[in-house]
């Protein structure tokens, strides 16, 4: 089946990859040298993509979980006809190039997700497969399979050592994601040496225990066996498939099969010998027409036909199912109906006090009616987070239309799976857990921000007001942690109306993840928010001083805004009249122009107080050197939440006392 030209194409991938690494004097040659055969078979014989329309909805998705092998992926993209030139390959790992050290979404044509942190790519692949399964169930009709594709990933030994691979693969098997196929570059070498120094699992038994199918290819250079393994995997209807392909890291090098070829260039002398071993006679970065032609005849030609067939099918679908078509397209364009926020409940001060997690839960029910492309999941905390859609079932193999994903206690995998679900396109997806457990998923949230994926994160139980569960469950440093992540928007709403407008920001975000922190305890619906239309500027005056120039400014977030308003009344007893500012988002406020910032926080008013039941880290930016930060720079304590707040100094009396002591 595979001729000499195709074997030459495999070596073209290898040599292009090594050339990039040698020119940059940086990179990981071992994986491309060992894994290029499986990559070639997958890309040029199996995958259904259209390089000229790289964002085609129904393309197969590919994830290089072992992202350090990026040179191989860039070689494949170039040869397959994506917008990546030889000059781009020559600029591998250089500033401003399209070929950074690890693959980056929205930076390089054809890159589906940002990979490099090991294990996350496997979870990404799970997310793509879940998105496909969900969308297919929602939109496909008899004879109109407009959503019908596979997800493929190549992982390494290191990926399988990371805990997230266990989390994600466990869920994938449970959900019977049979259109997910993972190829394992099994070379028994890690960066520091032999794999057996730190890993001795029986991979077959492991994946079968997680309800995966298992296949082994004993010779990673055998193109026919690799092809058969993938084709057979595509026929599986029960469970995802894991294909262990035994390879030799750095194949052809004098140091093949050792860690010496893992993470450093092999050097020009060894490269010259490698070329002889590959029977490669062309110069660096030189590819003959016969190699380009084999890619044109396969991935390019087949991809163009597949796209054309799908486009015709979609046009027929549009005619026959216009409403479904409109909804389907809107999902991929992240469009919502005009004035959609008007369909979401508003709250008045006359309404009963309500925890913002509870009002958030009510709001989610309205959002679910705005678009059926809205769905989400929780890390075994739906009953606490209140983020489930009540009139929908659980997402499962039997009910893939279900809009509630039971992620289980898998916070890290949940966040990374969500990244892929949103990156796949077609839906709005949110995930939730307790705020303190955001520590478990921070690495996934970081990639959300880095790769411009607008996942919505809902974190409840947002302060020491969690109470009796004590310091292990009381977030202290998490607010500042998330605020420190570039391109992440942290929102801590004061009441139900701010929650409502937080969701507006989240669903209208195109390039940034949005984090919404919500209370466990009840809070009042504030007078100052009943006519509030927007919080996108990050801060606003919720209650102003009667004086032309306020005596001071109190800035607060979340449930502490109510406390700030009570403190304002308390200070009036001492003839002190302050302005109260609600600041649901530091990040959004920073984005505003100087005029708006001056309007809210005039520079001449230096008597400033911040109130937030978390670390003081970051607050001096807004309160200044002369400011007073009512915060918690220690871990919390267990007890009734009212007693805990009191003990830690969060009362109107104590804050007023400190204000007068500081400024009067």
Take residue 493 and report the two structure tokens written for it.
């709403």
pLDDT, tens digit (0-9, with 9 covering 90-100), for 586-605: 999 999 999 999 999 999 99
Fold of 340-529: Rossmann fold (3.40.50)
Nearest to 578 by CA among 664, 463, 491: 664
Per-domain residue ranges for the chain? Answer: 36-247+285-306, 340-529, 540-663
pLDDT, tens digit (0-9, with 9 covering 90-100), for 266-317: 999 999 999 999 999 999 999 999 999 999 999 999 999 999 999 999 999 9
> What is the spatial order of strands in the sheet that 578-582 belongs to?
540-543, 578-582, 552-556, 608-611, 628-630
Q: How far is residue 287's CA from residue 282's CA, in Å, rounded to a whole number?
A: 7
Do the Cβ atoms of 123 and 167 come closer than 8 Å? yes
Q: Would you call 26 helix, strand, or coil by DSSP?
A: coil
Per-residue confidence at 1, pLDDT binned at 50, 70, 90? confident
Nearest to 204 by CA among 231, 225, 186: 186
Across residues 151-179, what is the average pLDDT? 98
Q: How far is residue 525's CA from residue 323's CA, in Å, rounded to a whole number?
A: 38
411 is catalytic: yes
Q: How far is residue 11's CA from residue 34's CA, in Å, rounded to a whole number?
A: 10
Look at residue 332 in the predicted model and tell me its pLDDT: 98
Q: How far is residue 164's CA from residue 576's CA, in Å, rounded to a whole number?
A: 54
Look at residue 115 in the predicted model and tell me its pLDDT: 98
* pLDDT(664) > 90: no
Fold of 36-247+285-306: Rossmann fold (3.40.50)
403's enclosing H/E stretch is: none
Look at residue 630 in the predicted model and tell me its pLDDT: 98
Q: How far is residue 49's CA from residue 52's CA, in Å, rounded to a whole number?
A: 9
Do the Cβ atoms of 104 and 115 come closer than 8 Å? no
Kind of pairing, strands 578-582 and 608-611?
A: unpaired
The two domains 36-247+285-306 and 540-663 share their CATH topology (first three levels equal):
yes
* Whole-prediction pTM: 0.98
Cα torsion angle, 187, 191, 194, 195, sign: negative
State the average pLDDT for the chain.
Answer: 97
CATH of domain 540-663: 3.40.50.920
Residue 530 makes CB contacts below 8 A (sequence gap 6+) with: 346, 347, 348, 349, 497
Percent of the chain with pLDDT over 70: 100
Per-residue confidence at 399, pLDDT binned at 50, 70, 90? very high
* pLDDT(563) > 90: yes
* pLDDT(145) > 90: yes
Nearest to 158 by CA among 192, 113, 125, 111: 192
Across residues 401-407, what is the average pLDDT? 98
Name the catalytic one among 244, 411, 562, 570.
411
Across residues 645-664, what is the average pLDDT? 96
């Amino acid at each position: 089946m595979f001729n000499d030209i195709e074997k030459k194409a495999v070596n073209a991938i290898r040599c292009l990859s090594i050339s990039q690494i040698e020119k940059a004097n940086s990179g990981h040659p071992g994986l491309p040298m060992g894994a290029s055969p499986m990559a070639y078979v997958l890309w040029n014989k199996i995958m259904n993509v259209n390089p000229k329309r790289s964002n085609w909805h129904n393309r197969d998705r590919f994830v290089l979980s072992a992202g350090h092998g990026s040179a191989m992926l860039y070689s494949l993209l170039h040869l397959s006809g994506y917008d990546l030139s030889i000059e781009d390959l020559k600029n591998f790992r250089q500033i401003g190039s399209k070929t950074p050290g690890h693959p980056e979404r929205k930076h390089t044509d054809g890159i589906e997700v940002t990979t490099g942190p090991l294990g996350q790519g496997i979870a990404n692949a799970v997310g793509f497969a879940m998105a496909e399964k969900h969308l297919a169930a929602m939109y496909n009709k008899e004879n109109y399979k407009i959503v019908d594709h596979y997800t493929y990933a190549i992982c390494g030994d290191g990926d399988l050592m990371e805990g997230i691979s266990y989390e994600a693969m466990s869920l994938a098997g449970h959900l019977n994601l049979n259109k997910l196929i993972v190829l394992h570059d099994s070379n028994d070498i890690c960066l520091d040496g032999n794999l057996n120094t730190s890993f001795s699992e029986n991979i077959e038994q492991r994946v079968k225990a997680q309800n995966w199918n298992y296949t082994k290819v004993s010779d990673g250079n055998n193109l026919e066996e690799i092809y058969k393994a993938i084709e057979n995997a595509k026929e599986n209807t029960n469970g995802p498939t894991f294909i262990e392909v035994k390879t030799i890291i750095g194949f052809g090098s004098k140091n093949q099969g050792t860690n010496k070829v893992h993470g450093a260039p092999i050097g020009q002398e060894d490269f010259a010998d490698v070329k002889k071993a590959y029977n490669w006679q062309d110069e660096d970065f030189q590819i003959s027409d016969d190699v380009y032609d084999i890619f044109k005849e396969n991935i390019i030609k087949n991809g163009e036909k597949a796209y054309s067939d799908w486009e015709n099918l979609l046009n027929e679908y549009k005619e026959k199912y216009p409403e479904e078509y409109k909804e389907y397209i809107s999902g991929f364009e992240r469009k919502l109906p005009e004035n959609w926020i008007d369909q979401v409940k508003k709250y008045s001060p006359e309404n009963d006090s309500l925890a913002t997690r509870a009002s958030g839960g009510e709001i989610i029910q309205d959002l679910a009616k705005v678009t059926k492309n809205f769905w989400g999941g929780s890390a075994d905390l739906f009953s606490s987070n209140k983020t489930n859609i009540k009139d929908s079932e659980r997402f499962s193999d039997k009910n893939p239309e279900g809009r509630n994903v039971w992620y289980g206690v898998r916070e890290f995998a949940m966040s990374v799976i969500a990244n892929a679900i949103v990156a796949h396109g077609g839906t709005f997806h949110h995930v939730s857990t307790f705020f303190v457990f955001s520590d478990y998923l921070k690495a996934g949230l970081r990639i959300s921000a880095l790769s411009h994926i607008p996942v919505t994160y809902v974190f409840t139980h947002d302060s020491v007001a969690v109470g009796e569960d004590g310091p292990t469950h009381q977030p202290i440093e998490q607010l500042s942690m998330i605020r420190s992540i570039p391109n992440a928007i942290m929102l801590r709403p004061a009441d139900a109306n701010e929650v409502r407008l937080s969701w507006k920001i989240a669903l209208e975000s195109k390039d940034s993840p949005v984090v919404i922190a919500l209370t466990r305890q009840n809070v009042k619906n504030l007078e100052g928010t009943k006519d509030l239309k927007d919080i996108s500027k990050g801060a606003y005056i919720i209650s102003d001083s009667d004086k032309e120039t306020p005596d001071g400014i109190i800035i607060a977030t979340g449930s502490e805004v109510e406390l700030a308003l009570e403190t304002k009344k308390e200070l009036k007893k001492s003839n002190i009249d302050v302005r109260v500012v609600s600041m649901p988002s530091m990040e959004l406020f920073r984005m505003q122009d100087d005029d708006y910032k001056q309007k809210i926080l005039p520079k001449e008013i230096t008597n400033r107080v911040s109130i937030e039941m978390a670390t003081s880290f970051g607050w001096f930016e807004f309160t200044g050197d002369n400011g007073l930060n009512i915060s918690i720079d220690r871990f919390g304590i267990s007890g009734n939440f009212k007693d805990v707040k009191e003990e830690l100094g969060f009362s109107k009396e104590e804050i007023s006392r400190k204000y007068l002591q500081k400024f009067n």
